Amino acid sequence: MQSYVRSDSVVSRVIAGDTLIVPVRGGVGDLASIYSLNPVASTIWSAIVEPRSEEQIIARVVEEFSAEVQQVAPDVKSFLAEMQSAGLIEPVAVAVGVPA
Q: Cα separation of 29 and 81, whole Å?
A: 22
The pLDDT value recorded for residue 48 is 96
Is 17's pLDDT higher than 90? no
CA atoms lying within 13 Å on the CB side of residue 76: 28
Is 54:2 a contact under the CB 8 Å cutoff? Answer: yes
Residue 2 near residue 77 (C-beta atoms within 8 A): no
pLDDT at residue 27 tops 90: no
Inform me whether the pLDDT recorded for 37 exceeds 60.
yes
Is residue 98 assigned to a domain? no
pLDDT computed for residue 29 by the predictor: 61
Q: Does the residue 99 lie in any domain?
A: no
Asked whether residue 11 carries a pLDDT value surpassing 60, the answer given is yes
Of residues 98 and 59, which shows the higher confidence score? 59
Query: How many separate domains does the chain show?
Result: 1
Residue 60 in any domain: the answer is yes
For the chain, strand residue ranges (E) read 2-6, 10-15, 18-25, 28-29, 35-37, 52-53, 89-93
User: What are the beta bridge partners of residue 43?
Assistant: none
Residue 73's CATH number: 3.90.930.60
